[in-house]
């Protein structure tokens, strides 16, 4: 196993992607410490909670960070205020996403971390001039969230070039899947659509629905993140994490309706006041070439896995006693 015996700190490890990363690291034999303030994270998402060290706290606490890093090999920095929160409170967004990332890098430099992996976002590209988007294309920060994530990237580059701190950056594109619970009001569009349709409510599409995104299943995003930590040539570089396939919101809703077997009809409402990107799809050739990574999960397969997980959660939280929710869900979906 690639991470057997390694000592790892995951900031934001109770969040959606973070919890999947933690579960995977423990499977691979790592000794994991999680730092999370539980603003949007859920300890319940960490299935191996008894096998890790969990610290409730924030990356804004420099002394705590330095203490937690003192005996670690790798640091995965996933702690973040998401895009919706950032627009409502840009100062807190700066405090966590930018200053917090600076704290992570400064502490890592002080204690001598083997590598810091910073999870950024495709939002740093803004509305692209060309598709698919390459890592060296023009960057355009059109909201506070994108600005803070790019600032974190810039500090990663500065610490790498100035102090020789080993870093690697991954830019996620619309990650969805297991542990992206609709109970979180800030969850992504895939979970929101599933939640509405499973409740037989009308899913609302902003604008005309022809806006596109590159939807990435969480298992693939986690694998790319792990490879960024251990691939020698990844040091000091940035990598797109997507699928290279463009999907419209209209198509996404249609696929989810088909998977759930629902007869619900969607409707259209005013376009969003944030993240108004018309088209997005990433070029992932650099990730294929350097990280030897490629996404293994098709959109159809990823949506079905997400649906199964959501059904399992629904059964577990119901008053009906079911001995094996996973088998029950497999019978329903398959």
List residues with catalytic annotation: 145
**Angstrom distance (rounded) from CA 65 to CA 72:** 11
Which whole-number Å values give the CA distances from 60 to 37, 99, 144, 179, 323, in the listed order? 10, 7, 18, 25, 43
Q: At what angle do helices 249-260 and 189-198 cross, to 10 degrees?
A: 40
**Angstrom distance (rounded) from CA 247 to CA 176:** 14
Residue 300: Cβ within 10 Å count: 11
**Angstrom distance (rounded) from CA 39 to CA 109:** 27
DSSP helix/strand/coil, 188:
coil
- CA dihedral sign of residues 245, 157, 25, 2: positive
């Amino acid at each position: 196993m690639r991470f057997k015996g390694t000592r790892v700190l995951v900031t934001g490890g109770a969040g959606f992607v973070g919890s999947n990363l933690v579960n995977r690291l423990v499977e691979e034999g790592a000794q994991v410490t999680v730092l999370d303030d539980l603003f949007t994270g859920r300890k319940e998402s960490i299935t191996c909670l008894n096998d890790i060290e969990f610290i409730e706290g924030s990356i804004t606490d420099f002394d705590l960070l330095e203490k937690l890093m003192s005996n670690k090999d790798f640091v995965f920095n996933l702690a973040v205020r998401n895009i919706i929160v950032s627009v409502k409170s840009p100062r807190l967004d700066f405090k966590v996403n930018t200053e917090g990332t600076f704290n992570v890098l400064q502490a890592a430099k002080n204690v001598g971390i083997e590598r810091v992996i910073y999870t950024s976002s495709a939002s740093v590209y803004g509305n692209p001039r060309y598709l698919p988007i390459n890592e060296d294309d023009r960057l355009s920060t059109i909201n506070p969230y994108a600005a803070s994530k790019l600032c974190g990237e810039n500090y990663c580059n500065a610490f790498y070039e100035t102090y020789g701190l080993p870093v690697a950056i991954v830019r996620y594109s619309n990650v969805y899947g297991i542990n992206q619970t609709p109970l979180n009001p800030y969850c992504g569009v895939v979970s929101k659509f599933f939640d509405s349709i499973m409740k037989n409510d009308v899913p609302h599409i902003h604008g005309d629905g022809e806006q596109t995104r590159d939807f990435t299943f969480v298992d693939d995003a986690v694998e790319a993140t792990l490879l960024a930590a251990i691939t020698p040539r990844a040091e000091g570089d940035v990598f797109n994490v997507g699928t290279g396939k463009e999907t419209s919101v209209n198509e996404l809703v249609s696929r989810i309706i088909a998977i759930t077997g629902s007869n619900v009809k969607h409707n259209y409402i005013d376009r969003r006041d944030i993240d108004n990107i018309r088209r997005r799809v990433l070029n992932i050739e650099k990730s294929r070439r350097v990280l030897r990574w490629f996404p293994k999960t098709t959109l159809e397969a990823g949506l079905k896995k997400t649906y199964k997980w959501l059904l399992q959660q629904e059964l577990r939280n119901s008053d009906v006693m079911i001995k094996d929710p996973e088998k029950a869900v497999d019978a329903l979906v398959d």
